[in-house]
Amino acid sequence: MFNKKPLMCAGISAILLVFLPMIFSMFGLIVWSGFFSILSNISALVLSIYFMYGFYYLGMKYKNKLLSVISCVGIIFTIVLYVTLIFASGQITSNVEQLNQTVSQQQIVLDNLNATNASAEQIAIIQTEMSNTLFDFFGPYLVAFLVVLFLWLIGSVLFNVSLIKLKKVEYAKVTGIIGIVSIGLTLTIIGIFLAIPLMLAYCVMLVIILFNQAKKFKEIR
């Protein structure tokens, strides 16, 4: 599956990851939305795997077990996440349509109650039903999102710690520090705005590391 030049391939994949899925998504807005949506997810999955494999390979080269292990875990996590999204997208769309229909019906009932000057108790009942409908729908998705976010945070911290330990790799230590600082900033409301430029710089530094190491190991001539 993987190229004989894993570091160079990983760097190119990182660049394509920024543009290719977005291009497919834009095509999906014009024609064949379902097809291009799946194509966007598949391209993002494949490019992400190649990107993370580059760091697995880098960890193996420098005998950094933490980097190799966390990269492998990241590949598995990414595969599970994207495959779940691909196969669950249809069900999610169906659930959203059902939610819209249910909420619309409840809103009609609420409007009729308000128009007929119904009692406060009757209005409160239908409002409670609407709140419960929304909670029942968004609750499981919120829990799933928080679980994924927690796992991502743990994995990101360990990945950046492993980068800091790559003392022989140029820019690895500063990149790892930037990554950890960015993660800390995203956990605060105000810090999110400061984290955005840092995350952009962080991503660029990761690509630079890959290409520099590819050149070192004569993958680029």
Do 173 and 167 form a contact (C-beta atoms < 8 A)? yes
The pLDDT of residue 221 is above 70? no
C-alpha dihedral, 152 to 155 to 156 to 159, nearest 10°: -160
State which amino acid sits at residue 215: K
**Predicted model pTM:** 0.84
Indicate the pLDDT class of residue 94, thresholds 50, 70 and 90. Answer: confident
State which amino acid sits at residue 99: L
Nearest to 169 by CA among 200, 208, 139: 208
The pLDDT of residue 219 is above 70? yes
**Helix axis angle, 65-115 to 120-164, nearest 10°:** 170
Do 50 and 9 form a contact (C-beta atoms < 8 A)? yes
| Mean pLDDT, residues 137-154 | 92
Indicate the pLDDT class of residue 2, thresholds 50, 70 and 90. Answer: low
List of residues 6+ apart from 71 with CB closer than 8 A: 52, 53, 55, 56, 59, 159
Count of CA atoms in the C-beta half-sphere (13 A) of 83: 7
Average pLDDT, the chain: 89
Give the residue, 176 or 119, on which the prediction is more confident. Answer: 176
DSSP characters for the chain? ---S-HHHHHHHHHHHHHHHHHHHHHHHHHS-HHHHHHHHHHHHHHHHHHHHHHHHHHHHHTT-HHHHHHHHHHHHHHHHHHHHHHHHHHHHHHHHHHHHHHHHHHHHHHHHHHHTT--HHHHHHHHHHHHHHHHHHHHHHHHHHHHHHHHHHHHHHHHHHHHHT-TTSTTHHHHHHHHHHHHHHHTSTTHHHHHHHHHHHHHHHHHHHHHHHHHHTTS--
| Residue-level pLDDT at 52 | 96
Q: Give per-residue pLDDT as tens, 124-142.
A: 888 899 999 999 989 999 9
| Mean pLDDT, residues 36-56 | 90
**CA–CA separation, 180 vs 206, rounded Å?**
13
List of residues 6+ apart from 134 with CB closer than 8 A: 99, 103
List of residues 6+ apart from 169 with CB closer than 8 A: 58, 62, 163, 209, 212, 213
Give the residue, 179 or 189, on which the prediction is more confident. Answer: 179
| Residue-level pLDDT at 95 | 87
**CA–CA separation, 156 vs 146, rounded Å?**
15
pLDDT above 90: percentage of residues in the chain: 53
Indicate the pLDDT class of residue 71, thresholds 50, 70 and 90. Answer: very high
